[in-house]
Amino acid sequence: MWLSDAPRHSVDEAIPDFDRAFQNFFAKRTDIPQFKRKGKSADSFRYPDQKQIKVVRENGRISLPKLGWLRYRDSRTVLGEVRNVTVSSKCGKWFVPILTKREVDQPVPHGPAVGVDVGITRFATMSEGTFIAPLASFKKHEQRLAKYQRRMSSKTTFSNSWKRAKARVQRIHARIANARGDFLHQAFTTISKNRAMVCIEDLQVLNMSKSAAGTADAPGTKVAQKRGRYKATLEQGWFEFRRQFEYKMAWRGGYLVAVPAAYTRQMSSSYGHVSKENRKTQALFACVLCGYSNNADHVGAINVLERGQRLFACGGMAQSGRPSKQEPTEVTQAIPA
């Protein structure tokens, strides 16, 4: 009888989601789908029938089947025709992402090209010489997070005190994720503003963060040192940064070129000589052949830009952010309720 408490369309939407999960698994994009465990996943459901959804933008109200009229806080103006609505919960807060459809003019790219080299000491260094300092949101909350995780581990699982401790840990994780997400959005805006083409490294973050412990027969070397570097790598959010570039450059009508990252910081940008001896320290680049010296991240950004321009000129662009023709664009707008 509990199925009658939920709208029929929301229950039916679980079937295509299940099918999509297995398609991603067979395409080797994700792991095999698992059942949602109690307390381990966020709750969400979708309303696909636009005829049953009413949004009053003037006073911030939305009507959903079997929930009635609800008030929401408008994070942005809802533009276009409402297509579907997804209701989700995260850390005790409910969100209403609204998918809308509207026609937009094809943006025209303008501005120069720029190469971007990402790193740990400098989050992003541009070929022009400027750079963006890292946020390190996890490092700022690491000790506080560890304290409340220890408190949670001492509680009886699924008890009321355990649930309160878990909610505290979740809020800290949400604060870290929100700060990192806001930082990445601002970094993208800073880099892509008034630039027609952005060249970045095609980094394999998953391979860069694999465990170095090895096996009992073949143990790894410098495991603790590598573990710290891998944790710092994951903290930067390079994969999300790349993902934002791919779809946001399409919105702006610009181009995104992903180039091979091999030897970008060991090759002289003025002479083209490649040697590991050119990288004197983590930050200093000094060519042993021509004597050219500069910051290693800056040299890497210049080389990334040069490779990207060659790849773009040869028609072998790895990623193009600009759509091929003008079509109506569906824009998702997340509105906290």
- The answer to whether residues 197 and 255 touch, using CB atoms and an 8 Å cutoff, is yes
Q: Which of 5, 49, 105, 297 is catalytic?
A: 297
Q: Which two tokens stand for residue 199?
A: 């060249």
Q: Annotated catalytic, 201?
A: yes
Q: Annotated catalytic, 117?
A: yes
Tell me if residue 97 falls in helix, strand or coil: strand
Q: Which two tokens stand for residue 168?
A: 């505290």
Q: How far is CA 328 from CA 33, 78, 247, 251, in A?
A: 33, 16, 15, 12
Rounded to 10 deg, the angle between the 223-236 and 238-252 helix axes is 20
Rounded CA-CA distance 327/106 in Å is: 8
Q: Which of 201, 202, 235, 306 is catalytic?
A: 201
Q: Annotated catalytic, 142?
A: no
- The answer to whether residues 335 and 92 touch, using CB atoms and an 8 Å cutoff, is no
Rounded CA-CA distance 29/27 in Å is: 6
Handedness of CA 307, 308, 312, 315 (dihedral sign): positive
Q: Which of 117, 128, 240, 246 is catalytic?
A: 117
Cα 325 versus chain centre, distance: 26
- The answer to whether residues 245 and 200 touch, using CB atoms and an 8 Å cutoff, is yes
Q: How many residues make up the chain in this entry?
A: 337
Q: Which two tokens stand for residue 39?
A: 């307390």
Rounded CA-CA distance 37/12 in Å is: 21
Please identify every residue annotated as catalytic.
117, 201, 297
